[in-house]
Structure 1
Amino acid sequence: MNRRSVIAMLRTILRRDPPTPPTPEGRDEAPAAPPRSVENLVAELREMATTRGRFVCARHGTEAAVVEFVRRYSDASELTIDSYAGRRWQRVPVPADEATFGDRVAEGVQDALHNADVISLHLLNPEWTPFFCPSCALVYCGQCWTITENDDPWPGTLRGICPEGHATVLTK
């Protein structure tokens, strides 16, 4: 017993107060955490499984796109692309053998977004980077692109010309 515990015990005996359990030296009791709802727990788990990448326009320094990836091991993962071209959602399937946890596409997407590496993301799937000019290897915002809708070969396809004059297919 240390001196502190002995003094506390003597005070209790002398006052005839009911004994209180001694607290370990140097440790304060932490307040109890408030109960959390199931909705909050689900939101926290979703946040832990989410990787975001923010991409900035090379000319203006403004946000050109935000790409968010929610990885799932039992079902298809989700990729959401918010850019000047609107919000697009894509499914990213998981491999048939989910026990391996070696999904190279999902790992590649997470690495690319974590490092804001638009080139790696573009190499995984060019449709995921409608804000990127592969010829310039630069990201541009909606003010920079000259956008035209093309009916050939796919109706509704957006084609764009970057500020340097490179034509590219932005969305299909």
Structure 2
Amino acid sequence: MIAMLRNLLRPDLATPPAPEPPGEAPPAAASVEELTEQLREMATSRASFVCARHGTEAGSVKFLRRVSGTSELTIDSYVGRSWHSVRVPTDDATAGDRVAEGVQDALRTADAISLHLLNPEWTPFFCTSCALVYCDQCWAIAENDDPWPGTLRGICPEGHATVLTR
């Protein structure tokens, strides 16, 4: 009954569309492997690190992992924002990128020690002597004249000094 009414009111809807002429086939859907690779290309990991004394955010790290080329690490802390490149190996002999895997594991659990072991520049909020994370209210910043002029020195609440890059 509904089909008859549709034919009477809108005859253009009653006729099926004409098939497309032969020629170029529509593009094939991406394979599961290709889609998985595209998702890995856009994989982003993030973590916030909390001050041991105040419970406030001391810093955050965001990692944009790429399958090829260079991955990016963005660090926000009391010294400002910094960007770092993480190279991705191009040969199969490396069995995957161990540094990128380590960064993602450290961020998954907000493990400042593991992240620091990968690269000390990635954890300016972490005091190695205390093995604790401190926020901007805790750190005292001073100009560091020796041994690297032009760098900053962060001093944690316990008096431990850390050389920071600008």
Q: Retained in 2: the 8 A contact 1:73–1:101? A: no
Q: Retained in 1: the 8 A contact 2:144–2:163? A: no
**SS of the residue 1:158 aligns to:** strand
**SS of the residue 1:18 aligns to:** helix
Post-superposition shift, 1:111?
0.4
Pick one of 119, 129, 133 that aligns with 1:125: 119
After TM superposition, the score normalised by the length of structure 2 is 0.73
Give the 3 Å change call, closer, same or farther, for CA 68–46 of structure 1 in structure 2.
farther
Aligned position for 1:13 = none
Hey, what's the Cα distance between the residues in 2 that align with 1:158 and 1:67?
20
Give the 3 Å change call, closer, same or farther, for CA 62–97 of structure 1 in structure 2.
same
Give the 3 Å change call, closer, same or farther, for CA 143–98 of structure 1 in structure 2.
farther
1:153 aligns with 2:138: no
1:136 aligns with 2:121: no
Hey, what's the Cα distance between the residues in 1 that align with 2:98 and 2:141?
33
**SS of the residue 1:107 aligns to:** helix
Percent identical across equivalent pairs?
77
Aligned position for 2:15 = none
Q: Aligned AA for 1:94?
A: V
Aligned position for 2:44 = 50
Aligned position for 2:75 = 81
Give the 3 Å change call, closer, same or farther, for CA 47–147 of structure 1 in structure 2.
farther
Hey, what's the Cα distance between the residues in 2 that align with 1:138 and 1:155?
26
Shifted more, 63-72 versus 92-101: the winner is: 92-101
Post-superposition shift, 1:100?
6.1
Give the 3 Å change call, closer, same or farther, for CA 83–47 of structure 1 in structure 2.
farther
Q: How many residues align?
A: 133
Hey, what's the Cα distance between the residues in 2 that align with 1:67 and 1:154?
26
Aligned position for 2:34 = none
1:93 aligns with 2:78: no
Post-superposition shift, 1:165?
1.4
**SS of the residue 1:106 aligns to:** helix
1:106 aligns with 2:100: yes
Hey, what's the Cα distance between the residues in 1 that align with 2:146 and 2:136?
22
Post-superposition shift, 1:101?
5.8
Where in structure 1 do 4 or more consecutive aligned residues deviate above 2 Å? 45-48, 98-101, 151-156
Correspondence list, 1:23-34, <5 A: none
After TM superposition, the score normalised by the length of structure 1 is 0.70
1:18 aligns with 2:3: yes
**SS of the residue 2:121 aligns to:** helix
Q: Retained in 1: the 8 A contact 2:40–2:66? A: no
- Unaligned 5+ runs, structure 1: 1-15, 20-44
Give the aligned CA root-mean-square deviation in angstroms.
2.3
Q: Retained in 2: the 8 A contact 1:65–1:81? A: yes
